[in-house]
């Protein structure tokens, strides 16, 4: 356990619905805090006003709550380091930018968008497809001098503040997942720290806030790894010690390659947490599935509650390599977690989908239906697909009829209906005994009766146990369905 109390943060931008990859990042941060008795902070990085989406912050909070990730400090939770929205922390960023300018670790640049485009075009080559800002040839305080710089600022010329990356150095840091990582400063751009509208970019605000909020561990996606040397240089210039850093492996598409919105849509993979909620996935299953997209417990155990994940979690068990996302695995996790629920809970979850298809179903009846199919459901809403539990079949599976409905099937169904109608007790044992006695009397195989009976009573070839289904339907309904199918199919 770390010497000082762990403080981690999840710092999304409110530019849209929370992505499933964002939830994984939040989960790993939350698990470390929970494991160590630390603090999980939600910080909203809303300085990019052009991409701000109304309602996105609310979606972030709702998604975290759905997954069971409680927020110790944040915009609504409050805390000793409030405010927790970057748009409300402007004075901190200005102070830091002024310090960097005063120390010479940052400078002012007046280049227009057109001038920057021309620079990139001039410097772009096959070997250098993404050229760095060429400070020596551009319009900035380093080339203009102090007097001209101040004159331009005084007359209101638009400008930005850029990081002055030192030449000829190697920036080295320890990543808790990847070990020692080094970048040559020749590959690091003079990043914009303060935009022309006076708002900080992610890089400056991120460093200032992590320091001010006493964040001890930064756990974030691999896509931020290349930005880390800029952050290390900022920490150094401001005289602050950086937090421990861990960059999570990429989530890959099932076909390989980074999972993007485009290929996710093409493959039918939900992108946003809200999509998983709408699809009826259990939050415990989604959390369990996400935990294994990069981490493993080092044991054979796969099914974990959130509390068990927190107890087992360690950064050391997170791998470096990208992990392919599998919706089949999520389906499996969901089925396992669903089967751990009581039938009453499954019925509650399925009620909306069932009601939409079949109208208002008595809750006790719905609970009995959930119990009947409990071991077969991957999603609670799939109960609505078992229509035969709620209404008589209107049609019969053509492939099943072709394969299993023989010339004597109608007669056998009628005969079995007669036997069922005569039963004093309609139970699992009595309905099965009636069929076995009939098979012996008629001198036919058991399957010669059971398959047509299933088609007649359910309209399908798959479902719950045959005799469980008959008892659920009840004596009168079972007999009626058998005779109706015998007449319809002949």
The single residue listed with the structure tokens 């940052």 is 106
The single residue listed with the structure tokens 């053509």 is 398
On whether 261 is known to bind a ligand per the annotation, the reply is: yes
Q: Is the peptide bond before 83 cis (omega within 30 degrees of 0)?
A: yes
Inter-CA distances, 335 with 49, 216, 286, 308, 373, Å: 41, 37, 11, 18, 11
Exposed (0-12), middle (13-18) or buried (19+): which is 66, by Cβ within 10 Å?
A: middle
Cβ atoms of 296 and 317 closer than 8 Å? yes
* C-alpha–C-alpha distance, residues 76 and 53, integer Å: 18
Q: Which of 261, 266, 403, 406 is catalytic?
A: 261
Helix (H) or strand (E) holding 181: strand 179-184
Q: Report the alpha-carbon angle 67-70-73, nearest 5.
A: 140
* C-alpha–C-alpha distance, residues 64 and 58, integer Å: 10
Secondary structure E strands in 257-318: none
- How many angstroms separate the first and last alpha carbons of the chain? 73
**Cβ neighbour number for residue 363 with a 10 Å cutoff:** 12
- φ, ψ for residue 289, nearest 5 deg: -65, -45
Residue 24: both structure tokens together = 């994984």
Cβ atoms of 4 and 216 closer than 8 Å? yes
Told to judge if 261 belongs to the known catalytic residues of this protein, a careful annotator would answer yes
Q: Which residues are annotated as a binding site?
A: 261
Known binding residues for ATP are 261
Catalytic residues: 261
């Amino acid at each position: 356990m770390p010497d000082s109390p762990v403080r981690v943060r999840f710092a999304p931008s409110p530019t849209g619905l929370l992505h499933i990859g964002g939830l994984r990042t939040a989960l790993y941060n939350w698990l470390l805090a929970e494991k160590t008795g630390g603090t999980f902070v939600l910080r909203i990085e809303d300085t990019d006003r052009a991409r701000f989406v109304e309602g996105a912050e609310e979606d972030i909070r709702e998604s975290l709550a759905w997954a069971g990730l409680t927020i110790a400090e944040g915009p609504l939770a409050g805390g000793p380091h409030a405010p927790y929205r970057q748009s409300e922390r402007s004075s901190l960023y200005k102070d830091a930018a002024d310090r960097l300018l005063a120390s010479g670790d940052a400078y002012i640049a007046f280049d227009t968008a057109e001038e920057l485009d021309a620079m990139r075009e001039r410097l772009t080559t096959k070997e250098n497809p993404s050229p760095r800002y060429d400070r020596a040839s551009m319009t900035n305080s380093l080339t203009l001098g102090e007097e001209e710089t101040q004159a331009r600022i005084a007359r209101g010329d638009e400008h930005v503040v850029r990081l002055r990356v030192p030449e000829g150095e190697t920036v080295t840091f320890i990543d808790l997942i990847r070990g020692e990582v080094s970048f040559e400063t020749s590959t690091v751009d003079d990043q914009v720290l303060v935009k022309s509208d006076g708002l900080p970019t992610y890089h400056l605000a991120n460093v200032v806030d992590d320091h001010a909020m006493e964040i001890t561990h930064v756990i974030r996606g691999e896509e931020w790894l290349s930005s880390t040397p800029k952050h290390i240089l900022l920490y150094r210039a401001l005289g602050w010690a950086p937090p421990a850093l861990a960059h999570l492996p990429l989530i890959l598409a099932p076909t390989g390659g980074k999972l993007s919105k485009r290929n996710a849509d093409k493959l039918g993979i939900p992108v946003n947490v809200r999509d998983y909620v709408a699809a009826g996935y259990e939050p415990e299953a989604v959390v369990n599935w996400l935990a294994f997209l990069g981490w493993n417990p080092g044991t054979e155990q796969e099914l974990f509650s959130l509390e068990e994940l927190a107890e087992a979690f360690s950064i050391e068990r997170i791998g470096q390599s990208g992990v392919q996302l599998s919706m089949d695995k999520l389906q499996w996790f969901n089925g396992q977690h669903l089967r751990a629920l009581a039938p009453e809970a499954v019925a509650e979850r399925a009620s909306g989908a069932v009601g939409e298809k079949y109208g208002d179903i008595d809750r006790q009846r719905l609970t009995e239906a959930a119990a009947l199919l409990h071991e077969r459901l991957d999603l609670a809403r799939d109960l609505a697909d078992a229509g035969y539990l709620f209404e008589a079949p209107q049609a019969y599976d053509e492939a099943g009829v072709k394969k299993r409905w023989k010339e004597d099937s109608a007669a056998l169904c009628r005969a079995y209906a007669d036997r069922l109608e005569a039963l004093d007790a309609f139970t699992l044992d009595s309905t099965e005994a009636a069929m076995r006695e009939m098979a012996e009397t008629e001198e036919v195989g058991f399957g010669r009766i059971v398959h047509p009976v299933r088609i007649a009573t359910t309209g399908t070839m798959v479902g719950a146990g045959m005799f469980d289904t008959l008892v659920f339907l009840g004596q009168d309904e079972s007999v009626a369905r058998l005779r109706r199918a015998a007449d319809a199919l002949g």
